[in-house]
Every structure is written in structure tokens, then in C-alpha cells.
Amino acid sequence: MKLNSCSVIIIHLFVLQCLSVVCLSQDFDFFYFVQQWPGAYCDTKRGCCYPTTGMPAGDFLIHGLWPNYNDGSYPSGCDHGASFDKSEISDLIPTLQKEWPTLACPSSDGFKFWANQWTKYGTCSKSELNERQYFEAAIALKGKANLLQALRDAGIKPNDHLYKMEEIRDAIKVAIGYTPGIECNVDEFGTSQLYLVYLCVDTSGSDFIECPLLPRAGCGSSIQFPKF
Ligand code: 5GP
């Protein structure tokens, strides 16, 4: 059978389309959107340093948006050639400084933390979100999940008191609509405290979903909600 040039072009286009679907299809199953409670990050033997832009607000802060697989494993550092490009997010910096500041020592302006999160995690969701979209998605998710308000509405406040894990989990589920993962750390006396809250997000980075898998918690049945 002889193919005319028009058929050849159509076949070429078909092959190209198939390749683009294979190459651009998402290569992770969901995101963990992780927020940290600054009171718990700071209340450890290691301590913390406020960012050069000043003490963060007494609110949960973004830790990261992490692509994950349904089996609990996750991709990491997916683009060795890619570096973090500050200019892509220059207009987002004031918002990032407020919502995604670093508490690590020594004090810094946050760029190292954002670059670390982009190269370690963000590069693994590039099929869905480029660098700018990755940071925008995290900021938008933070706006949709007011954890402090959710907890306050249930009478749970950062006052160094102990609260039951179920109370904390339920309060967030009632307000956000999805069960969160809670991770604890310990203060210098070994008291378990509310440190990270994980919410699951679909691969587009825009909608919360029920978690395919909750992260391991490391919490006791009652945990402290430290002051900040
Ligand atoms: P990850 O847990 O996201 O894999 O790694 C976090 C990295 O970011 C660590 O190297 C940690 O030192 C650094 N980092 C910088 N600022 C912060 C912060 O405010 N909170 C946390 N948890 N890690 C931070």
C-alpha cells in the first residue's frame, strides 16, 4: 500500500500527539500540602531563628507542597539541570515572606528555603506546575485552609495546653472537609507537640482531596499546642 504525503503528515502528527501525552502526563499521584506551626518548630532543643524580614505572624506557615505516590514513596530532586529562578516569582516575594518564611538558623530571607523546596519537590511536579505556578498554588491553598481558625472554632488554641489528637483532627476535618495528617515533634522535655499538618491535594495543585495515605504521625494521644 502506498501512502500519499498527506497521510504521512497525519501519521506524524498522531505520533507527536501520543508522545506529548506520554511526556506531559503527570508523574505523581497527589500532593501533600504541609503547614508548620512555628511555636513547635521553635520550641525544640535546636530552636529557631526569625527570618531577616521579622517575626512571622502567629499563624500556621507553609512548609511545602510535596508530590507523592499512593504507596507512600515520593520523587525527589527531579531536574538536576534546573535551578531556582528568583525572577519567576519576584512579585510573589512579599506574600511568600508572610506565608512561607523560614525559621531555620541562621536567619535568612527565605530564598534558600524556597529554592530547596522547588529543587527537591517542585521539580517533580513540573508536568503540572511550572516554578511560578508551583508557588502560586501553595499560596492559594494556604488561603483556602485556615487551620488556626478551624482549631479556634473548636476551642483549640495555642496556649501550651494538651489537646486530644482526635479533637484536633476532627476540628480540621469539620472546617476544611478532609481528614488531615498530623505530625508531632518534641520539646526539650520530650513533650509531644503539634508541628505539621498535612492536607492532600489533587495533581493540579488546586483542590483538596481525601488523603490516599496519611503520613506517620509520631504523636501521643494528647499533644501540646505550644504558644507562639
Ligand atoms: P524537607 O523536610 O522539606 O525535606 O526539608 C526541609 C529543609 O528546609 C531542611 O533542610 C530545613 O533545614 C530547611 N528549612 C528552612 N527553613 C525551614 C523551616 O522554617 N521549617 C522547616 N521545617 N524546614 C526549614
pLDDT in tens, 135-170: 999 999 999 999 999 999 999 999 999 999 999 999
Residues in the chain: 228
Residues with CB under 6 A from ligand 1: 36, 41, 63-64, 102-104, 113, 116, 120
**88 CA to centre of ligand 1 in angstroms:** 22
Cut 0.85: pTM above it = yes
Specify whether the CB–CB gap between 128 and 136 falls below 8 A. no
pLDDT in tens, 10-21: 444 444 444 444
The answer for residues whose C-beta is within 8 angstroms of residue 180's C-beta and 6 or more apart is 169, 172, 173, 197, 198, 199, 211
CA 193 to chain centre: 19
**5 CA to centre of ligand 1 in angstroms:** 57
User: Which candidate, 56, 69, 65, places its Cα nearest to that of 34?
Assistant: 65
